[in-house]
Amino acid sequence: MMHTVSSARIEARISPDLHAMIKRAAEIQGRTLSDFVATATQEAARRTIEQNEIIHLTMDDQQRFADALLSPPGPSPALRRAMARHDKILRTT
């Protein structure tokens, strides 16, 4: 039974110097140029996503966050007014 691996193609225009550098790095690692570029790109993409989606908190901030989740503050006066307006609008429609 044969398994087919789907793939997508990506193209980029780069300088000859950069191409030579990437090719040399791939050769040093004993990898194909495509494999080297795909792996390096995947790692860069993972780091970029992680830096933008994961929130790093200090220990003090973690404690404050947990405390706020476990004992949230009551509604502020502005929130109480907004809830009252919301209730009034729903009752009149």
In contact, 23 and 32? CB cutoff 8 Å: no
In the chain, how many domains are there? 1
Domain that holds residue 39: 16-92
Number of residues written out for the chain: 93
Query: Is the predicted pLDDT of residue 10 greater than 80, yes or no?
Result: yes
The answer to whether position 29 is within a domain reads: yes
Distance CA 17, CA 19 (A): 5
Secondary structure letter of residue 29 according to DSSP: T
Provide the pLDDT for residue 92: 76
Q: pLDDT of 37-76, one tens digit each?
A: 999 999 999 999 999 998 889 999 999 999 999 999 899 9
Classify residue 7: in a domain, yes or no.
Answer: no
The per-residue pLDDT for 69 is: 95
